[in-house]
Copies of this chain bind each other. A is one copy, B any other.
Amino acid sequence: MYRTHTCGALRIENIGEEITLAGWVQTVRKFGAITFVDLRDRYGITQVVFNESLNKKLDEQPLGREFVLQVKGKVIERSSKNLNIPTGEIEVAVSDFTILNKSIVPPFTIQDETDGGDDIRMKFRYLDLRRNTVKKNLELRYAVNRSARNYLHEKQFMDIETPFLIKSTPEGARDIVVPSRMNEGQFYALPQSPQTFKQLLMVSGYDRYYQVVKCFRDEDLRADRQPEFTQIDCEMSFVQQEDILEMFEGLIKRIFKDVKGIDYTDIVERMSWDEAMWQYGNDKPDIRFGMKVCNLKTPAIVRGEREDQSALINEAGFNVFDQAETVLAIAVPGISEYTSKQTDELTDWVKRPQIGMKGLVYIRCNADGNYKSSVDKFYSEERLKVIADAAGATKGDLVLILAGAEERTRKAISELRLELGERLGLRKKDEFRLLWVLDFPLFEYSEDDNRWVARHHPFTSPKPSQIETMINNAPEISDPAAYLEHPYAGIKANAYDMVLNGNEIGGGSIRIYQRELQEKMFAALGMSPEESKHKFGFLLGAFEYGAPPHGGIAFGFDRLCAILGGSESIRDFIAFPKNNSGRDVMLDAPSTIDDKQLDELSITLNVKR
């Protein structure tokens, strides 16, 4: 061993001990004949002192930043203590040293606040990983991993590895495929998730399964997506939805406790998908703050089921509201005194193409009890007050109103709410609020193909009460414009998402376990019997030999770590991430391969661009 202690270990109790340290030179400071070096390793920083007797050796072998250095010496008390670091009461009086390896000057400073841009830090990722902030992220990631495994182990879950070279069954995202040399012209796929395998394990009787496992998806990468990502993947047999919710809110609470020291004793809130969309315009609402959506005008399709308050805004001659399918409001607390420059800026914000609204109506609920609006000429102050009251506004609030087509307007009001929550500091990084969103729709309508697609995945079970609806109705949609009237549009699934601070951190469902229902589901998604047999014959087969009721969940491990670490970016929590083009710029991968490799795989390139 090149050391007796780490650079984070020595304390006042060690004074007088002869020790050996090894680590990286963080800083070199000379004061006259004395040289101070901060020596850094994974565990901390220790100040080591070279007195003048070592000056000759230091002249011959000068130290530089990031040199790997071994020092032998005696632990002594520091005259000026640094109580900000655990080793700050001592230093090491060096008796001898060895330079284990040199370093050229790094392309950026290895400090918390670095001068390196994103690109250079990705290229020299091995240096970026030395920075304390990045190290803390990976330590947090490991702590979450460890905590999750411990909890699941105690609950009798078994880690069972599932294969990486599987069969391509694209449904939803594109598969990443792998040519097989030994099976000419054939391909494996890398798993988008171990979904069917964990279900097979349930059929096999392994009633509590987990894995912390890499998954793969060939998507056009949006910011902060990675072609390979990690899931905490779990499945249980002989359970109902309630059992799963309890088990896995327990998991997340345990992680809060182990990793953040937080006792999350609150009951985890639950909300149906319908309610989430109605109250927040979003299926993963951030419930750290209020500002719920006020549905002033309800689209025709849900009228009857939902309260319609359009009387409040109708017949005022304001065409924008009269012609809109949907009118939605939020009451933003404490900003009634926004200047017109500020409200104009908000208007511009909602008009950006990403939001796509035509305009923004506001009502100021002034501190003096007056109401002022951008639509004063259509609405009397009395009517403004009624509308503001409906939105839940009180003195000092600013009511923001959007109008337009249902889907876009609802999405926009959600974005606006989140933006204002952010601006007003209501989305606190150190506050964690969990939420279960339940009862997702089983199907989504695909306009492109005029057919149903699975909202979650094709293995998700409909609500038991709606199985009949599914079995007794054909999936065909005769009138695309009226797809919402098709019986399938109303079928809800036994599916659930866990939402943390407005991010979906996990999702799952109770699965189909009956062959007939699974076949019906494949048919509903437009698969012919031949196709479903070709792709999923093994699963349909397995369901014939005594498949138990089962369900599960998968957590997005990268995302969970990022949120717990108070970051927006999953990339900061991955040791060797890829960039937005799916490239590893450190390795320079992907890259070309030899003709011999191509030939052995019986493929040729057909490059078009």
Contacts and interface: CB of A to CB of B under 8 A. Distances in A.
Interface of A: 1-3, 22, 24-25, 40-42, 66-68, 100-104, 106, 124-127, 129-130, 135, 138-139, 141-142, 145-146, 149, 153, 158-168, 170, 174-190, 197, 200-201, 203-207, 214, 216, 218, 220-221, 227-228, 230, 238-240, 243, 513-514, 537-538, 541-549, 574-576, 578, 581-584, 586-594, 597, 599-609
A590 B165 contact: yes
Given A41-B207, A180-B582, A188-B590, A104 B545 contact: yes
A568 B3 CA distance: 42
Given A24-B546, A126-B542, A168-B591, 15 more contacts: A42-B207, A67-B546, A68-B547, A100-B549, A103-B544, A129-B201, A142-B158, A142-B160, A149-B149, A164-B190, A165-B176, A179-B179, A185-B607, A186-B591, A201-B575
A153 to B, nearest CB: 7
Given A126-B200, A166-B587, A546 B101 contact: yes
A101 B41 CA distance: 58
A71 to B, nearest CB: 12
A606 B603 contact: yes
B166 A221 contact: no
Contacts of A220: 182
B578 A66 contact: no
A124 to B, nearest CB: 8
Nearest to A163: B576
B162 A589 contact: no
30 contacts: A3-B238, A101-B514, A101-B543, A101-B546, A101-B547, A103-B546, A127-B545, A129-B206, A141-B160, A160-B575, A162-B575, A163-B578, A164-B164, A165-B578, A167-B584, A167-B588, A168-B591, A174-B597, A177-B178, A177-B179, A177-B597, A177-B601, A183-B581, A184-B607, A185-B592, A187-B591, A188-B590, A214-B214, A538-B588, A602-B605
Given A164-B228, A168-B593, A68 B158 contact: no
A186 B582 CA distance: 12
A591 B167 contact: yes
A600 B243 contact: no
A548 B574 CA distance: 22
B204 A129 contact: yes
Given A68-B548, A548-B101, A574-B161, A205 B42 contact: yes
A1 B245 CA distance: 12
Contacts of A239: 1-2
B177 A214 contact: no
A589 B513 CA distance: 23
A394 to B, nearest CB: 46
A188 to B, nearest CB: 5
Given A42-B206, A204-B129, A581-B183, A228 B1 contact: no
A175 B591 CA distance: 13
B593 A549 contact: no
Given A22-B548, A42-B206, A138-B158, A582 B183 contact: yes
A207 B240 CA distance: 45
Given A163-B584, A184-B609, A545 B174 contact: no
Residue among A164, A184, A589, A599 with most chain B CB within 10 A: A589
Contacts of A227: 165
A207 B228 CA distance: 25
A138 B206 contact: yes
A121 B277 CA distance: 48
A529 to B, nearest CB: 17
Contacts of A602: 605-608
Contacts of A513: 101
Nearest to A134: B204
B100 A548 contact: yes
Contacts of A545: 66, 103-104, 106, 124, 126-127
A603 B600 contact: no
Closest 7 CB pairs of A and B: A167-B589, A129-B204, A103-B546, A186-B590, A2-B238, A180-B590, A66-B546
Nearest to A215: B164
Nearest to A208: B42
Nearest to A607: B185
Contacts of A163: 228, 576, 578, 584
Contacts of A104: 544-545
Contacts of A214: 161, 164, 214
Contacts of A161: 214, 230, 574-575
Given A103-B544, A161-B574, A602-B607, A190 B205 contact: no
Nearest to A24: B546
